Structure 1
Amino acid sequence: TVPVLSDGSFTRAHFVERWTSGMPVVVSNVDRRLQGRWHPEELSHDYGSEKVFPVDCETNEAVKKPWKAKEFFEYLQNPDVNKPVMKLKDWPPSKSFRTTFSDLFDGFLRSIPPSCQDIARVDGKFNLAAHYAKNGNTPDLGLKMYIATGSKEHGDRHGTTRLHLDVTDAINLLPWCADRKSAAAVWHIFDANCAGDLRQFLHDTHPNLRSCDPIHSQCVYLSDDMLASLASQYGVRPWIIHQRYGQTVFIPAGCAHQVRNLQSAIKVACDFVSIQNLDRTLALLGEQRAHRLYNQGPEDVLQVHTLLWYAWLSTRSSNNVADQFDMDCSGGESIIWVSWTITDLITYLQTTTTCRAVSTRTQSHPMRPRHPCAPLYVQGFTL
């Protein structure tokens, strides 16, 4: 079970301490500052004419003919328990959330707890992705909405979101559900260090997935029976979170997770790149690249080496900003140390003339002591 923090009752240091541990974090009462028109009727009024392609959560296939958003929002409020759970994934799918839903975008940013805004906001100074050049090809890390029906009657065979993991950290807010008195969604989040055992278990139970990565393929939802078998055979147990209205879930990079709606709900999520999980983000790049090459996986939208380059330029170009970063030590990791780590990585990038996978350690800079968290392993990092 993951302890729930109440917005306004914890300090930044308290949040960072928990975040550095690699555990997910849950914060309640963020709805106190939430602004925007998040109710399905309001979304239907504002965007009802948009064409959408709902996905059947049992087959994971989208409908052939588009629905109007108004139709989907009507179904969201009056779902048929005899029909499959339906969802809108990554809405809007191709347009910028900031452009399409500017008011909701601003409302979401204001809802992020003040104690972690500089880490999780898209413009937070400790969000490495925020340092991307404004005229660069900035990666789209969200926001995105995930809207789905759901009910306890459908059982636990098919989740709303199947098991997967992300190379970035994520923040997920629940701004609307049909019944505020009850939990809206159940999350199963696995420690990033358990990914190997989790893959082996999935290969054992799903022979058809042995030729691919069973987590990156996003083909499986672990039922309660499967979770029990996983625990008995490998000793692997997930953190279980019952997300309610007005709660935000922070998911660390590399933590495999799945979600099942217990009722109709709207969730909105955004990715970010924190200092605390930077080593894990880098280590996951090789996995994602291999999956793209052999299984036609999604393209690399993060462009992490470019992202780190801009973060390095940003922290080195302003003494004032660098001083602020150096004064803030997040679990022993100041951003100046991260800047030097990036310096080492950039030096490697500049001196490497061939494209190859590498496994390297950060080198001690002659002008600074070696950081206690070093060495930082960059495993499977492919240029």
Structure 2
Amino acid sequence: MEDPPIYKLKDWPTTDDICRKMPLHFKAFKEFLPCHEICHRDGALNLAKYLPKYFCIPDLGPKMYIAYGWLEEFIDKNKHEVFLKMKQGSTDCHIDISGAINVMTNVVEPVNSFSKRQRREALRNLLVEGGLSDEEIDNFIESGRKPGALWHIWPVRDTEKIRKLLHKRDEEQYKKGSGNDAIHDQDTYITSEIREMLEKHGVKGKYILQCEGDAVFIPSGAIHQVLNINSCIKIACDFISPQCVRRSLLTTEELRHLSTSHQNREDKLQLKAHLFHTAKEILSSLLWEPIFKQKLHQKPVI
């Protein structure tokens, strides 16, 4: 039986700045955002702050992600049986050029004819499929929290190894020289079957069960994917922290080797421009601050 389509609204607003479109919501998000100095567009440790306004500024967000959940589809509406295999998610595996933070602002459990027992059993099977142990599932269910989304994130050090294993798994699709890439194509959801294959080769990721009010940090270059359990509203924004730079440069170089028609080939981040103007700002401060202080302490000539 094929999985049904699950609708989602991605990167909204697509062409407008949420600061202008929803100023009150933007202000509330700014106050809620953790690690403001790194995550916010005006943060001192966010290199995106130092790109001059006359550049074509990359859109780093915040952007909203609104999507229906999968939990309802884990229950067969005719037989009330639970599907035991998940073949796709809300967001397929990919990597971000920059660092990112994703905040869950709202989780909604739909009202329907299913009993609490049926929903609880469906949730248990979904989390088992997601790689959680029975003890972890029991503890979460007992907490009474509404599950929003299930994340899988793999360490940055394993990104290239995962790519090679996925290519080997489907050599025909990712044949050498095709320009296709198992990660940058963003058309693969790493199922429990694939995760088992990765673990046999020493690659083990982490899961994050995100609920309302939770913020998830995604390191630059780390493969990650998302499965919405219930219907959710999430707000995400990208940032360029000093810790991101080395990996972001490697990812930018990877994108250059994709086929010319690939949707992700364009260098949208303009990372080298950010680095240049950040360095210029730092050098300017180092050179001019001592001169300014010296002039400040000089006695006026009468």
Matched, 1:281 2:252: no
Q: 1:206 aligns with which of 166, 170, 173?
A: 170
Secondary structure at 1:281 match in 2: helix
**Inter-partner Cα distance in structure 2 for 1:127 and 1:321:** 22
Of residues 244-253 and 149-158 in structure 1, the stretch that sits farther from structure 2 once superposed is: 149-158
5+ unaligned residues in a row in structure 1: which ranges?
1-57, 59-81, 324-383
1:254 to 2:221 alignment: yes
Selected match of 2:89 from 151, 159, 167: 159
Aligned match of 2:105? 175
- Give the corresponding residue for 2:133: none
Deviations 1:97-153 (A, max 9, x none): 22222222222111112xx21111111000111111133321111111111001233
Map 1:31-42 → 2, pairs under 5 A: none
Give the secondary structure class of the aligned counterpart of 1:184. Answer: strand
Distance 2:214 2:242 in 1: 24
Structure 1 position 297 matched with structure 2 position 297: no
Q: Please state whether the residue corresponding to 1:219 is helix, strand or coil.
A: coil
The one of 151, 154, 179 aligned to 1:187: 151
In the alignment, residue 317 of structure 1 is paired with which amino acid? S
Alpha-carbon distance in 2 for matches of 1:119, 1:322: 24
Distance 1:209 1:244 in 2: 36
Higher relative contact order (CA 8 A, sep 6+): 2
AA of the residue aligned to 1:231: E
Matched AA of 1:249: V
Native 8 Å contact 1:190 1:237 kept in 2: yes
Q: Percent identity?
A: 36
Output the CA distance in 1 between the equivalents of 2:237 and 2:265: 18
Decide which of 193, 196, 199 is 1:231's aligned counterpart: 199
| Dislocated runs of 4+, deviation >4 Å | 319-323
Q: Structure 2: how far apart are the matches of 1:99 and 1:161?
A: 27
SS at match of 1:313: helix
Alpha-carbon distance between aligned partners in 2 of 1:95 and 1:192, rounded to the nearest angstrom = 32
Q: Measure, in 1, the Cα distance between the counterparts of 2:265 and 2:12.
A: 17
Distance 1:295 1:248, change over 3 A: same
- Tell me whether 1:92 sits opposite 2:56 in the alignment: no
SS class of match (1:284): helix
The alpha-carbon deviation at position 294 of structure 1 amounts to 5.8
Aligned to 2:57: 138
User: 1:200 & 1:283 partners in 2: Cα distance?
Assistant: 16
CA contact (8 A) 1:315 1:322 kept: no
**1:89 is aligned with what amino acid?**
K
> Partner letter of residue 260 of structure 1?
L
Cα distance in 2 for partners of 1:144, 1:122 equals: 13
Distance change >3 Å, CA 320–CA 148, structure 1 → 2: farther
- TM-score (normalizing by structure 1): 0.59
Q: 1:128 aligns with which of 35, 40, 47?
A: 47
Q: 1:105 aligns with which of 26, 31, 36?
A: 26
TM-score (norm 2): 0.74
1:69-114 per-residue CA deviation (whole Å, 9 max, x = no partner) reads xxxxxxxxxxxxx95211001111222222222222222111112x
Q: What letter matches 2:6 in structure 1? A: V
Q: Give the residue type in structure 1 aligned to 2:253.
A: G
- SS of the counterpart of 2:208? strand
Alignment partners' CA distance in 2, 1:142 and 1:202: 30
Does residue 271 (structure 1) correspond to residue 190 (structure 2)? The answer is no
